[in-house]
Amino acid sequence: MRMCEKFTGCRVLSYCIMSNHFHLLLEVPPMPENGISDDEFLERLGAFYTPVYVAQVAQEMAALAEPRVRGEFEMAPVDDNGVPLTMDQEMAMAQQQADRQLAEIRNRYTRRMHDLSEFMKSLLERFTKWFNRTHTRSGTLWEDRYKSVIVEDGIAARMMAAYIDLNPVRAGMVKDPAEYRWSSYGEALGGGKKGNGKTARAGLIRAWYCNEKAGDEAELWPEVSRFYRRMMGIELGKKPGHARVEKTGQQVTKTAEELLQSEDNETVLKDLSVAKMLHCRVRYFSDGAVIGSRAFVDGIFRETRERFGPKRKDGARKLRGTGSAASEWIWSARDLKKEIV
């Protein structure tokens, strides 16, 4: 999914991967009016192709950037009337031909960018190949073609993102969406084995604010996470748009807007405590990772040094993301899966 995101320029705002299907809230921006630079073009190719392949494309493009003209002993080309071309005419013709060839190279790949159908095609095909290879099988994997709807930005995008992240709760898999690892909300809180959740947080911030507010992810996430959790709490309420709140023995009806803006979280999903957020972070440290003091983690690292890559200098890694509040007293070997033999 992230590879397709990088290559196509489409952006995953919210996602949830279930046992036999998945949900995506995808932003499909148009190709920039002036296209993308050569550097960005080659960087995007790197998401799908090997460095050797990308280098070959780069060399081909570089050669076309300086079109060749005749040498001192070569025959000059002629026009339709058989009149030899001047050097300037020949240069212009060579440049036109090079521009056409360069455009053909770029179009070979850019036609698959900024397009919903191409994003889904790449994602489904690549996952199918990986799944078949992993499970020694062949043939198709997906039963039906994907289904899509157009979602307006603003409140509709926010509600759709919340609906997607609540799928495992509705399915009875977890009681709290924060406990489900394979979703945008779960990744945003706990991170994943290849990151600290920054990409997922940026997607949810985009889903919430759209183009209304720009700022640093670390600056905007606390506010968005608070509102987003309350919106999911509202969605889990019995009736959409309002909820009944117990207050001093009485039931008070509040609108969704009042619940979002109230001083305290009065939805069915209470605010996460520091301990709960730390749990969301720690639950991903599995399959051989180590958790404890810095000295403890480094000690385990020294005892099992041969199981790590040669570039690894120490074992302890600070907690990041929502677990950073405890980073001074709890450390982990969270990179273990990356370099273990």
Q: Which residue has the higher pLDDT, 276 or 279?
A: 276
pLDDT tens string 163-214? 899 889 888 999 889 889 899 999 998 776 566 788 999 999 999 887 666 6
Report how far apart, in Å, the C-alpha atoms of 271 and of each of 124, 250, 264, 265, 275 are.
36, 22, 9, 7, 11
pLDDT at 297: 75
User: What is the chain's Cα-based Rg?
Assistant: 27
pLDDT at 340: 29
pLDDT tens string 281-292? 544 443 335 556
pLDDT at 91: 67
Burial of 223 (0-12, 13-18, 19+ CB in 10 A): middle
Angular region, 210: left φ>0, alpha ψ -120 to 50, beta rest: left
pLDDT at 215: 62
pLDDT at 110: 93
Query: CA neighbours within 13 Å on the CB side: how many for 244?
Result: 5
Q: What is the DSSP letter of 254?
A: E
Computed over every residue of the chain, the mean pLDDT equals: 76
Q: What is the mean pLDDT of residues 296-322?
A: 74
| Dihedrals phi, psi of 183, to nearest 5 degrees | -150, 165
Q: How far is 200 from 15, CA to CA, in rounded Å?
A: 9
Cβ atoms of 90 and 76 within 8 Å: the answer is: yes
On whether the pTM is more than 0.85, the answer is no
pLDDT-derived band at 336, boundaries 50, 70, 90: very low
Comparing 81-95, 268-282, 303-317, which segment has the lowest mean pLDDT? Answer: 268-282
pLDDT at 335: 43
| Dihedrals phi, psi of 174, to nearest 5 degrees | -140, 165
pLDDT-derived band at 231, boundaries 50, 70, 90: confident
Q: How far is 189 from 29, CA to CA, in rounded Å?
A: 26
Q: How far is 289 from 283, CA to CA, in rounded Å?
A: 11
pLDDT-derived band at 341, boundaries 50, 70, 90: very low
pLDDT-derived band at 90, boundaries 50, 70, 90: low
Q: Which residue has the higher pLDDT, 141 or 98?
A: 141
pLDDT tens string 17-73? 999 899 999 999 999 988 999 999 999 999 999 999 999 999 998 888 765 544 444
Least Cα distance to 319 among 341, 299, 339, 289 occurs for 289
pLDDT at 211: 62
Name the percent of the chain lying above pLDDT 90.
Answer: 30
pLDDT tens string 232-275? 887 776 444 444 445 555 555 555 566 666 666 556 567 666 55
pLDDT at 242: 42
Tokens of 32: 């920039």
